[in-house]
């Protein structure tokens, strides 16, 4: 089994032992092919093209990472928002990727590596990764983690009697918590087999390799109460706000705007499934040096803190928590959540995703 848990003691030590330590360039978000940089003529050594997902996440990158990096280095950062893995892989295989650096989840970076589409990272060029307390599972040959997020349970707080669910076992307890449920579809990420196993009593540190047969038997017990298998991050909050479901898995942070507006919603963190976005450098990248410089810049504790304040994803560098105000630190890698959740095993899912997804689709149709 691959140990993909955060090194909790090292992370907590890192939080407590920190040594404090050209004009701003434009950042262009490109959503269509015609607007994206093409060919050597449109790319200079002073321009770095980064692929990210855009939206609020891209805006947080612009504010916390790209613009400060450009101001310090004089390197302009352009952005392309290519949504599909297959499209990115095709560009790399053709030897003409439109991006020098990929910002994407670590599972996708593992898939790129299996397709021989990314460069092996030279950690001698990443000074801020050394002795920084970053989890070993995020220091891979094909990519390095940059921010944590988590899938957690969200629920309505206006339940009769004021009871609140405390675990995934409560999600499966339809007598104590009667009402509709919602869960993630494989179109949005790995099926939530881990939550079923936790509900059935499997300890956090014994989840992997997943007992797929057992997980589907547990899923059978709640299937009739699942009103929707959601495919995007906004849907769970909408379903909860409208009262169409009582409980739902959700990407932490996505319903925050609804909560701030007064919607009767809350999270519980027990059994949170942590994942990480990360950086990888595609083969054929035209500005590899600038890519390394941006990765190293983004791993500075203060930059990690700035990003976490702009977007609700947890730092991978524990020292960043020294810069975060307390009210902004309810994140996937927060010290209080390290012992209540687990890290998704990227290697297991990359190897088993196709088979599990096929079985899940057959289960959902049955």
Q: What is the 3-state secondary structure (H, E, C) of 66-113?
A: HHHHHHHHCCEEEEECCCCHHHHHHHHHCCCCCCCEEEEEHHHHHHHH
Task: Taking residues 217-242, report their average pLDDT.
Answer: 96
Residue 118, pLDDT score: 98
What is the structure's pLDDT at 78?
98
d(CA 64, CA 114): 31
The fraction of the chain above a pLDDT of 70, given in percent, is 88
Domain range 150-273+344-365, its CATH number among 3.10.450.50, 3.40.190.10, 3.30.1230.10, 3.40.50.10300: 3.40.190.10
Whether the per-residue pLDDT at 2 is higher than 80: the answer is: no
Q: Against a cut of 0.75, is the pTM above it?
A: yes
Q: How confident is the model at residue 11 (pLDDT cuts 50, 70, 90)?
A: low
In terms of pLDDT, which residue wins out, 290 or 337?
290
Determine the Cα–Cα distance for residues 335 and 12; give it in Å rounded to an integer. 7
Mean pLDDT of 251-278: 94
Q: Please state the domain extents for the chain.
A: 8-148+275-333, 150-273+344-365
DSSP element (H, E) containing 348: helix 346-365
Residue-by-residue DSSP string for 307-332: HHHHSS-EESSGGGGGTS-GGG--ST
Across residues 246-252, what is the average pLDDT?
Answer: 96
pLDDT value, residue 29: 35
Distance CA 110, CA 227 (A): 32
The CATH code for residues 8-148+275-333 is: 3.40.190.10
pLDDT of residue 326: 84
- The band of 182, judged by pLDDT with boundaries at 50, 70 and 90, is very high
Contact 115, 243 (CB under 8 A): no
Please check whether the two domains, 8-148+275-333 and 150-273+344-365, share a CATH topology: yes
Measured CA angle at 286 (ends 282, 289), to 5 deg? 85
CB 333 within 8 A of CB 165: no
CA-to-CA distance for 216 and 366, rounded, in angstroms?
12
The pLDDT, as a whole number, for residue 339 is: 87
Read off the pLDDT band of 73 (50, 70, 90): very high
Please report the pLDDT score of residue 327 as a whole number: 77
Q: From CA 232, how far away is CA 214, in angstroms rounded?
A: 27
Work out the percent of the chain whose per-residue pLDDT is above 90.
80
**pLDDT interval class at 25 (50, 70, 90):** very low
pLDDT tens for 319-365 read: 999 999 987 778 999 988 988 999 999 999 999 999 999 999 999 99
E strands present in the chain: 29-30, 47-51, 76-80, 101-105, 144-156, 181-184, 226-230, 247-251, 265-280, 314-315, 341-343
Q: What is the mean pLDDT of residues 11-15?
A: 58
Evaluate if residue 33 carries a pLDDT over 70: no
Cα–Cα distance for residue pair 167/144, rounded to 1 Å: 31
Look at residue 158 and tell me whether its pLDDT is greater than 50: yes
Residue 14 pLDDT class (50, 70, 90 cuts): low
CB 316 within 8 A of CB 134: yes
**Nearest-CA neighbor of 290 among 45, 36, 95?**
45
Q: What is the largest CA-CA distance in the chain?
A: 66
Interacting residues of 227 by C-beta distance below 8 A, sequence separation 6+: 180, 181, 182, 239, 244, 245
């Amino acid at each position: 089994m691959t140990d993909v848990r955060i090194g909790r003691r090292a992370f907590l030590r890192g939080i407590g032992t920190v040594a404090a330590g050209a004009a701003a360039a434009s950042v262009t978000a490109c959503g269509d092919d015609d607007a994206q940089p093409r060919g050597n003529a449109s790319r200079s050594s002073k321009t770095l093209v980064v692929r990210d997902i855009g939206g609020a996440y891209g805006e947080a990158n612009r504010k916390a990472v790209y613009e400060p990096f450009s101001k310090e280095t004089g390197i302009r950062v352009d952005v392309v928002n290519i949504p599909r893995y297959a499209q990115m892989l095709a560009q790399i295989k053709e030897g003409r990727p439109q991006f020098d650096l990929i910002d994407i989840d670590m599972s996708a970076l593992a898939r790129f590596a299996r397709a021989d589409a990314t460069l092996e990272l030279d950690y001698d060029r990443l000074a801020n990764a050394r002795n920084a307390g970053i989890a070993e599972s995020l220091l891979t040959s094909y990519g390095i983690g940059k921010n944590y997020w988590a899938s957690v349970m969200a629920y309505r707080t206006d339940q009769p009697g004021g009871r609140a669910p405390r675990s995934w076992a409560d999600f499966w307890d339809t007598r104590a918590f009667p009402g509709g449920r919602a869960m993630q579809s494989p179109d949005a990420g790995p099926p939530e087999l881990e939550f079923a196993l936790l509900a059935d009593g499997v300890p956090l540190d014994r989840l992997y390799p997943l007992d797929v047969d057992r997980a589907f038997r547990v899923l059978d017990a709640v299937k009739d109460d699942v009103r929707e298998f959601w495919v995007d991050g906004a849907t769970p909050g909408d379903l909860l706000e409208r009262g169409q479901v009582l409980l739902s898995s959700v990407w932490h942070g996505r319903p925050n705007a609804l909560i701030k507006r007064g919607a009767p919603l809350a999270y519980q963190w027990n059994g949170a499934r942590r994942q990480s976005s990360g950086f990888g450098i595609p083969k054929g990248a035209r500005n590899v040096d600038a890519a390394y410089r941006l990765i190293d810049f983004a791993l500075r504790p203060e930059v990690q803190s700035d990003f976490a304040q702009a977007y609700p994803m947890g730092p991978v560098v524990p020292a960043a928590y020294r810069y975060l105000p307390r009210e902004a630190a309810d994140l996937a890698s927060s010290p209080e959540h390290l012992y209540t959740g687990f890290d998704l095993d990227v290697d297991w899912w990359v190897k088993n995703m196709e088979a599990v997804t096929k079985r899940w689709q057959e289960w959902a149709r049955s």
